[in-house]
Amino acid sequence: MATPWWTRAAIYQVYPRSFRDLNGDGTGDLRGIVSELPYIAALGVDAVWLSPFYPSPQRDSGYDVADPRAVDPIYGTIEDARELIAQAHARALRVIVDVVPNHSSSERAWFQEALRSEPGSPERARYHFLDGRGLAGDQPPTNWTSWFGGGAWTRVVELDGRPGQWYLHTFDESQPDLNWSNPEVRADGLETLRFWLDMGADGFRVDVALGLAKDMSYPDIDDPESLTLAMRMDLDDGSVDAMNRRRKVANSAVLDRDEVQDVYREWRQVMDEYDGDRMAVAEAWVPPERAARYVAPDTLHQIFNFDFMAAPWDAVRVRGVIEKTMASLSYVGAPPTWALSNHDTPRVVSRLGGGPLGLRRARAMALIAHALPGAVYVYQGEELGLSDALLPDSARQDPVFFRTGGAQLGRDGARVPVPWSGSEPPYGFSDGSLPTWLPQPTDWAAFTVEGEIADPNSALHQYRATLRLRAAHPGLVDQQAFVLPEAPEGVLVLERGAGLRCVVNFTDEAVTSPVSGRVLVASDASVMVEGDRVTLPPSTGAWLQT
């Protein structure tokens, strides 16, 4: 049997709000994505993952879904979605859509019906509505906190005008959590999957996949702040402390409960009814020892690897994460995944130090990510070497910023519209009739797609080279042919199939390594091979053909 495509795919994450705006309203749209499919295909990736484009009040940039089986008019129409899938397929690109099962928008008809219904009604039973504690019921039912800061419960006003029950929201109060122990919610989830599978979607990215099951006895938890802290990517430096914060909330009353897999077993059966190796990837920020449950043969197919994403610029630590990842998934036979950033995290250039040094490191890390066995995800703009944009507070949109009273800046810096061409905003992202939904920096002229295509040493050319090599030589990412040999201090070497080696110098000094072969791709033009030695300047790396 041929190996399914997703076991070794390169997948490009499109954040529709910020990819390409064809109708000039300052927000990206589906037709904009269609117009840039040639760009995506030219990168050498196998698939696109589209962040949500469903009807939404956009309180959490579309992760607050009011109708999971339709398209928000700001992005286009259902016909545009159909066209996007068809055009992607015509270019041999698969399409993964986001599903957001943990919660809905408070604007979803279901939630509005729940507000208009009595406590104890079937309408309320689709969510988690509870009476408050205390004689007057004015204390929240549990001490759980929101990932976005603040409490996780909001009190509603009943039809008679009196303060009434409380509803649970792991995120913003505009994102009430759905009750997945309710058969109606389960059936609706399957309907959503079938809707997009019938439309031709090749897979799903499952938002907050660790959250669906709750302990329905609603106990208080120890150290409730840990719920908020564990999910803060900006605090995760890959350290033992950060891992322990995550361990604290794994397999708890609120997150990562074993019953969540019952939902995915049903989902898997539905996906398996369809041809074409449909797949699903779990967004589940769990410690390595909990990861395999999400990717067992009867659950989902992939799980995002946040340990790799959080790994610091340190050869020993990166190596450790790679080894641990491979070990934690190998016994269920699931392929690992690798990503350096996404729409929730700081951009990798910024995370690894920012500025020219951050860029050098990020490019070297990309050589590693693309050389590893399994699937790799690339977040739009990463291939251009973008950093987080500095934004004035008045421009910020992320509920994290508002819920923490500005104590956390939130994720907007990584979500700024992509610069395509030209020397000033909106850099070809839109026609400029209306301002872009987040302002673009004025110093991005050096990072446009157009500019990087013209520069053979750009990050874009590096990404194209490695991603195309992966696509052309499946053996490169074959799990069997993978060795992490011993290397000098501060250097990481990966040996791949077909005589390929990836060598990265994490130190601040040039290193000369005894490796023969020719340079296939380098993160910097000054990487040199002389005879059987390669010289890598500080914070650089190369793929060598030996």
Computed from CA positions of residues 506, 445, 45, 410, in that sequence, does the dihedral angle turn out positive or negative?
positive
Smallest distance, ligand GLC to C-beta of residue 214, A? 16
For residue 489, the one-letter residue type is E
Q: How far apart are CA 464 and CA 461, in angstroms?
A: 5
Helix (H), strand (E), coil (C) string for 381-430: CHHHCCCCCCCCHHHCCCHHHHHCCCCCCCCHHHCCCCCCCCCCCCCCCC
Closest to 496 in 3D by CA, of 522, 516, 518, 470: 470
Output 81 or 400, the one with its CB closest to ligand GLC: 400
Smallest distance, ligand GLC to C-beta of residue 346, A? 14
Q: Which residue has the tokens 């840990």?
A: 226
Output 209 or 542, the one with its CB closest to ligand GLC: 209
Smallest distance, ligand GLC to C-beta of residue 314, A? 26
Smallest distance, ligand GLC to C-beta of residue 63, A? 3
User: Do the bridges between strand 279-282 and strand 302-303 make them parallel or antiparallel, or are there none, so unpaired?
Assistant: parallel
- Is the bond leading into 426 cis (omega within 30 degrees of zero)? yes
Smallest distance, ligand GLC to C-beta of residue 98, A? 8
Half-sphere exposure of 258 (CA within 13 A, CB side): 0
Output 379 or 447, the one with its CB closest to ligand GLC: 379
Catalytic-residue membership of 191: no
CA distances from 142 to 8, 102, 136, 218, 313 (A): 43, 18, 15, 7, 39
Do residues 400 and 421 touch, judged by C-beta distance below 8 A? no
Determine the angle formed by the axes of helices 459-472 and 355-371, rounding to 10 degrees. Answer: 0
Closest to 425 in 3D by CA, of 21, 12, 61, 13: 21
Beta bridge pairs of residue 336 = none
Q: Which residues bind to ligand GLC, rule: CB under 6 A?
A: 60, 63, 100, 171, 207-208, 283, 343-344
Q: How far apart are CA 24 and CA 22, in angstroms?
A: 6
What are the percentages of helix, strand and coil residues in the chain, rounded to 5? 35, 15, 50
Do residues 65 and 108 touch, judged by C-beta distance below 8 A? yes
Smallest distance, ligand GLC to C-beta of residue 64, A? 7
Q: How far apart are CA 36 and CA 352, in angstroms?
A: 29
3-class state of residue 512 by DSSP: strand
Catalytic-residue membership of 450: no
Annotated catalytic residue within 21, 283, 344, 524: 283
Output 6 or 63, the one with its CB closest to ligand GLC: 63
For residue 306, the one-letter residue type is F
For residue 23, the one-letter residue type is N
Q: How far apart are CA 146 and CA 150, in angstroms?
A: 6
Smallest distance, ligand GLC to C-beta of residue 106, A? 13
Q: How far apart are CA 532 and CA 546, in angstroms?
A: 10
Output 105 or 462, the one with its CB closest to ligand GLC: 105
Output 63 or 313, the one with its CB closest to ligand GLC: 63
Output 47 or 476, the one with its CB closest to ligand GLC: 47
Output 214 or 360, the one with its CB closest to ligand GLC: 214
Output 342 or 458, the one with its CB closest to ligand GLC: 342
Smallest distance, ligand GLC to C-beta of residue 164, A? 26
Q: How far apart are CA 56 and CA 493, in angstroms?
A: 46
Smallest distance, ligand GLC to C-beta of residue 101, A? 10
Smallest distance, ligand GLC to C-beta of residue 309, A? 12
Output 146 or 436, the one with its CB closest to ligand GLC: 146
Alpha helices by DSSP H, 93-152: 109-115
Smallest distance, ligand GLC to C-beta of residue 18, A? 13
Annotated catalytic residue within 21, 207, 383, 452: 207
What is the DSSP track for 186-219? HHHHHHHHHHHHHHT--EEEETTTT-S---TT--
Determine the angle formed by the axes of helices 183-199 and 260-273, rounding to 10 degrees. Answer: 30
Which residue minimizes CB distance to ligand GLC? 63
CA distances from 529 to 45, 497, 543 (A): 29, 21, 11
Q: How far apart are CA 357 and CA 48, in angstroms?
A: 29
Output 208 or 213, the one with its CB closest to ligand GLC: 208
Active site residues per annotation: 207, 283
